[in-house]
Amino acid sequence: MRKGEQTRKGIVDKAYLLAGQLGLEGVTLGTLASSLSLSKSGLFAHFKSKEALQLEVLEEAIGRFTRHVVTPALGKPRGLPRLNAMFDGYLSWIRGVSGRGSCLFLSLAHEYDDRPGPVRDRLVESQRAWLDTLAKAVRLAVSEGHLRGTIDADQAAIELVGIGMAYQHATRLLKDPKADKRARAAYDALLQRLRK
């Protein structure tokens, strides 16, 4: 019972990697199998359907995001330090942990915005959770006295995501060398507005 789990993990890992470049639909069982030196049927035997595999890959992504971005930020003191850590982590996540591959969530957001089903549902759930996490961090910064009390935390959260999306757009599609600087400047401006 040990070898199976190990292989299964390898499949999900590889699928996660490929999905960052090709989208979840773009990862076919055939190419996934051959890139792992596995037979297609041998690979498929680990999952009930391709959709089940896709859901596992999405879950893997959520786990990685939590580990890479959310948890470290929660280790920081409430208020601006934590918010800063979240934004830094978010940028570094989008930049790609190991260089290649883009943010899976933003890819899937477009891939599934018109495709109903469990994958879309789970994706929406995770995106709302991320927005809530950001908004909560903003509210804590308010209660810590770091930010004004009159601000709209949900508005701030979605603007933060907007900065992240623009960053991805600039860095991955346009190959803009100033992308980092731009994202940072946008964040600083947003913060200044919230502080005032």
Contact region with a second copy (CB under 8 A), list: 52-60, 68-76, 80-88, 107-115: 107-115
133 binds a second copy (CB under 8 A): no
Minimum distance between the CB of residue 117 and DNA, rounded to whole angstroms? 12
Minimum distance between the CB of residue 177 and a second copy, rounded to whole angstroms? 12
Buried b (16+ CB within 10 A) or exposed e, 84-113: bbbbebbbebbbeeeeebbbbbbbbeebbe
Q: Which does 155 bind (CB under 5 to 8 A by kind): DNA, a second copy, none?
A: a second copy
User: Which secondary-structure segment (H or E) carries 64?
Assistant: helix 50-65
Of 91, 138, 163, 191, the one binding a second copy (CB under 8 A) is 163
Buried b (16+ CB within 10 A) or exposed e, 150-178: ebebeebbebbbebbeebbebbbeeeeee
DSSP state of 24: T
Of 22, 74, 129, 142, the one binding a second copy (CB under 8 A) is 22
Nearest 5°: phi and psi at 55? Answer: -65, -35
Closer residue to DNA (CB): 22 or 74: 22
Tell which positions 177-196 bind a second copy, by CB under 8 A: 178, 182, 185-186, 189, 193
Q: Which does 84 bind (CB under 5 to 8 A by kind): a second copy, DNA, none?
A: none
